[in-house]
Amino acid sequence: MNFKILTILSVLAMMGISCTADRLPLYKDASAPVEKRVEDLLRRMTLEEKVGQMNQYVGLEHIRKNEAALTEEELKNNTANAFYPGFNADSVAGWTRQGLVGSFLHVVTIEEANYLQSLALESRLAIPLIFGIDAIHGNANAPDNTVYPTNIGLACTFDTDLAYRIARETAAEMRAMNMHWTFNPNVEVARDPRWGRVGETFGEDPYLVSLMGAATVEGYQGDLSSDDVLACIKHFAGGSQPINGTNGSPTDLSERTIREVFFPPFEAGVEAGAMSLMTAHNELNGIPCHSNKWLMEDVARGEWGFKGFIVSDWMDIEHIHDLHATAENLKEAFYQSIMAGMDMHMHGVYWNEYVCGLVREGRIPERRIDESVRRILEMKFRLGLFEHPYADEGKTMEVRLCDEHRQTALEAARKSVVLLKNDGLLPLAPEKFRRVLVTGINADDHNILGDWSAEQKPENVVTVLEGLKAVSPQTDFVFVDQGWNPRKMTRSQVDKAAALARTSDLNIVVAGEYMYRGRWTERTSGEDTDRSDIGLVGLQNELIRKVAASGKPTVLVLVSGRPLGVEWAAEHLPALVNAWEPGMYGGQAVAEILYGKVNPSGKLAVTMPRSAGQVQMIYNHKPSQYFHPYSGTPSTPLYPFGYGLSYNRYEYSDLKLDKTEISSGDSVKVMVTVKNAGTMYGEEIVQLYIRDRFSSVTRPVKELKDFARVSLAPGESKTVEFAVTAEKLSFLDMNFRPVVEPGEFIVMAGSSSADEDLLKTSFHVR
């Protein structure tokens, strides 16, 4: 890129403006309408400045760190760390001063964000930068921020108000660090547990994902002012059902599956006001998503009316050329992506040169560039970046990690934990189990924070071991460290735990996956860490079996971002808990649940298969999926969607409808009574499912259509009401038009998606 020529052009343009401007430019007038400010600024910009607004870079400190740590060869397949061969951090700083950079990511300190902003404000037009960050569960990818449970755990709360609140708090912590744009929510529908990013999603059900995603969008964005951040719905589309379970591999799906399963959460995000959208790594039915005009223009903007800007994922426009091979070179890849609807490039050094060249050659009309720049500038104005380009370094920690946010993180962790099995062992009685063995890779490790977490200070994280000691101080906890890496577990440590198990009253094994991003190549779960099986890695199964062989009661706690095939443990241990990735207070929440200080209430947002051989295992399958069952192994899941135990027994009764026959435009009121037949206060998640009994197109055996969290005192009963509207009865006919067909609809209400947990009745549509 010839930056000397660009600089001369910028200076000449600046001279032209300064000779005619006798007063404050309209775009700097905060009282002017945003639309007029955008047009005024756009009129003043050179082509190079416009194209620069469409380009994003990684932060300067990130560049310096990875220049020293990575080779160019290692860089090719790394989707977490970057530098720019042939250029350095000073090069990027210089382009920022010239106004040729629109955005940064991987900036993780307020000091660097403010510094980079100061460079941008030295440019001719002083257009502020927008800083994006993967704030997936709180602004956890930067140090010293509140770390909430990851999305899969949050989805297990079935609490949309909590999702909204976490997003609001995350927005506050981001703005306190001068960060304005989160690459979340991930509203992909997770249908393959081998895929390492399940923990980043809200699970397998389109309805639940839609509601949690929409609440998150609304929480982040507020009214899109200087207190808010930009949400980004991603990844569009189909990447959560790759053909081999690996991130970015091809996706081949029918249009029906795309529209019925994968599109609804994105459409809900657009309806909730999401103003940015990220396309997916993968190709969809032979077309790379980053050059897919049908996705970006026809569907998102055309059918749904999406008004925000579209951003690429990490170097995925380049992959149109070097991976998918549908573009002969990088310049052609940029052309294809922009003309298909792309607005911003994440990330790289050749974008400005090649895109400006494409415009000058007449291949890309400058008005097409203007479309993208308008969308980007509008967001910068609406977020107040021109008036508030900096964050206050002296006040930042008044917001981050404040008591209110910490309490929300603890509440979310408590609600996210799912009790899968309890043969009467839990809650634990300290006087009965005085000596307790604690072991496993996740027993005393910050891995409990989950994927997309930076290293946090020890005083801001409670591990399971620390939580146990705090909740039951009278208990003698004996800890046997198994190391953090399941692949490097040793038999000597396994045998040591087995020996101590025989001298203990109770054993707690905290197993699962390893997700910490700081050891990128050693993880077993998370982004780009996909697996061909879903069993426990290393000697973890051997550890569980040998500890259980002591004859002492053994509790298994799973810390993981994906469903794990733990069939042996489910059959042989008396208690099994899935904690997912519960965040900074996960250890406290787990301990409180084990000792009965908190009554578990989480329900699975994703089915747990017995093994990878059952994939695909989802609750809302088609009627013929198990017409011929597996030979020699069960065709049922280990634990179904919506399942989760409590220390209470909840009794369901009196499932009633206000009418048993309606016309296609009417709605039905569904009523069901739930009673707390236990002795503890608790919260139950009441679930409503519908099945269209006979239809012109095959329909799932059941579909979640509503749910409610109900708080109940011991002995208390409540009647829960749901409204089944025409929208909830509709489906896409053979021509992909939404219809409600006449016939019988089965209504199911209860504690999980399993047939044995549901009451049933039906009504007819005339």
> Could you report the per-residue pLDDT of 14-44, keeping only the tens digit for each?
444 443 445 899 999 999 999 999 999 999 9
Long-range CB pairs of 317-325 (<8 Å, 24+ gap) are: 317/290, 317/342, 317/345, 318/348, 319/281, 319/288, 319/290, 320/288, 320/290, 320/291, 324/283, 324/288
Cα distances (angstroms) measured from residue 182 to each of 134, 170, 625:
6, 9, 38
According to DSSP, the β-strands at 181-182 and 233-236 are unpaired
DSSP state, 645?
A: B
For 224, residues 6+ apart whose C-beta sits below 8 A from its C-beta are 230, 273, 275, 379, 382, 383
Question: How far is the C-alpha of 236 from the C-alpha of 277, rounded, in Å?
Answer: 8
Please give the angle made by the CA atoms of 92, 41 and 124, to the nearest 5 degrees: 40
Q: Which H or E run contains 269?
A: helix 263-271
Question: How far is the C-alpha of 651 from the C-alpha of 654, rounded, in Å?
Answer: 10
Question: How far is the C-alpha of 55 from the C-alpha of 76, rounded, in Å?
Answer: 20
* Cβ atoms 175, 391 nearer than 8 A: yes
Question: How far is the C-alpha of 622 from the C-alpha of 463, rounded, in Å?
Answer: 41
According to DSSP, the β-strands at 506-512 and 435-439 are parallel
Rounded mean pLDDT, 654-661: 96
pLDDT digits (tens, 9 = 90+) for 243-293: 999 999 999 999 999 999 999 999 999 999 999 999 999 999 999 999 999
Question: How far is the C-alpha of 627 from the C-alpha of 624, rounded, in Å?
Answer: 5
What is the predicted pLDDT for the residue at 9? Answer: 37
Question: How far is the C-alpha of 236 from the C-alpha of 257, rounded, in Å?
Answer: 14
What is the predicted pLDDT for the residue at 322? Answer: 95
pLDDT confidence band for 391 (50 / 70 / 90)? very high
Question: How far is the C-alpha of 484 from the C-alpha of 442, rounded, in Å?
Answer: 7
Q: Which of 176, 219, 171, 222 is nearest to 399 (CA)?
A: 176
pTM of the complete model: 0.95
Question: How far is the C-alpha of 502 from the C-alpha of 479, rounded, in Å?
Answer: 14
Rounded mean pLDDT, 334-352: 97
What is the predicted pLDDT for the residue at 22? Answer: 58
Q: At what angle do helices 110-120 and 89-97 cross, to 10 degrees?
A: 50
What is the average pLDDT score of the chain?
Answer: 95
What is the predicted pLDDT for the residue at 7? Answer: 38
Question: How far is the C-alpha of 132 from the C-alpha of 469, rounded, in Å?
Answer: 39
pLDDT confidence band for 69 (50 / 70 / 90)? confident
What is the predicted pLDDT for the residue at 77? Answer: 77
Token readout for 432 is 């009965």
- pLDDT at residue 207 greater than cutoff 90: yes
Rounded mean pLDDT, 222-239: 96
pLDDT digits (tens, 9 = 90+) for 471-516: 999 999 999 999 999 999 999 999 999 999 999 999 999 999 999 9
pLDDT digits (tens, 9 = 90+) for 678-728: 999 999 999 999 999 999 999 999 999 999 999 999 999 999 999 999 999
- pLDDT at residue 184 greater than cutoff 90: yes
Cβ count near 736 (within 10 Å): 11
pLDDT digits (tens, 9 = 90+) for 86-124: 999 999 999 999 999 999 999 999 999 999 999 999 999
For 383, residues 6+ apart whose C-beta sits below 8 A from its C-beta are 130, 180, 224, 225, 226, 228, 229, 230
What is the predicted pLDDT for the residue at 303? Answer: 98
What is the predicted pLDDT for the residue at 11? Answer: 39
Cα distances (angstroms) measured from residue 467 to each of 442, 513, 556, 687:
13, 20, 16, 32
Range with lowest mean pLDDT among 130-139, 328-337, 625-634: 625-634
Q: What is the largest CA-CA distance in the chain?
A: 88
- pLDDT at residue 78 greater than cutoff 90: no
Question: How far is the C-alpha of 389 from the C-alpha of 761, rounded, in Å?
Answer: 58
> What phi and psi, each to the nearest 5 degrees, are found at residue 461?
-135, 135
* Cβ atoms 73, 96 nearer than 8 A: no
Range with lowest mean pLDDT among 71-85, 574-588, 594-608, 630-644: 71-85
Cα distances (angstroms) measured from residue 264 to each of 258, 683, 731:
9, 28, 12
Rounded mean pLDDT, 431-456: 97
pLDDT confidence band for 72 (50 / 70 / 90)? confident
Domains within the chain, CATH numbers bracketed: 52-133 (no CATH), 408-614 (3.40.50.1700), 650-765 (2.60.40.10)
- pLDDT at residue 232 greater than cutoff 90: yes
Using DSSP's 3-state secondary structure scheme, residue 111 falls into helix
Question: How far is the C-alpha of 650 from the C-alpha of 716, rounded, in Å?
Answer: 10
According to DSSP, the β-strands at 345-346 and 55-58 are parallel
